[in-house]
Amino acid sequence: MSRMTDKVAVVTGGAGGIGAATASLMKSQGAEVIICDLHTSEGEKIAGDLRSTFHALDVSQEDQWARCLRGVEQRFGRIDVLVNGAGIEGELNEGAPDGMSLLQWRKVMSVNLDGTFLGCREVLPIMRRVKQGSIVNISSIASYYPTVQNAAYGASKAGVTQLTKSVAAQGALDGNRIRCNSIHPGLIETRMLDRIFDTLKQRGGDEPRSREDEFKSRIPLGGAGQPDDVANLALFLACDESRYITGAEFLVDGGWRLLR
């Protein structure tokens, strides 16, 4: 079954993890996929394997967004789906509210929140020209809880959640069927999660049980999820099966929030 035949999908953060899994799944379901990322070599390899298109994109840069999406529209005539998946975790060793520099704060915000805002802003006029579209923003379970050792990350993802609702309202109320929803992953096996656990292990010293095992033991469904677990939901929100869903939040956390 081809759930995305004739759709054009732009996926940021597509050179690895959730973004790569999403791009691969959408391609397998018939979409024309444009992979966007700062990591050119990895992105070009994935795009080549999928027989898709790669665009080098720093999502924090306004001019790059405009140039990228304009080029996609000129080539394919439309953009049906935007997945804002690019994100960074920030500095964990100096991430507390009273230990973080303004430069560190702004770096996380520029990618996670500014990048999502710019993507939404630049794609909306393109989607309006065909009077439909789906924007999928990757937020985080961290948007719901205090993130004392990583304040910028939690704050940026909470901002993504609120921005999603504002975009959804505008996309519906202006007479077009442009939908916007957010996905909130929990612990997902990605390079970002590996970096986070490496930092926590360094802090913990010679603990009898690793912090990684401690975190994963709290998940009711057991262990961390896989990028495909998020990609499957992104696919559903991107295709016409979810045509009556907008402004919603979706957890992919193995039930972690149930016990928090």
Catalytic residue among 144, 145, 153, 244: 153
- Residue 244 catalytic? no
Burial of 187 (0-12, 13-18, 19+ CB in 10 A): buried
Contact status, residue 84 vs residue 116, Cβ threshold 8 Å: yes
- Tokens standing for 44? 């070009």
Residues labelled catalytic: 153
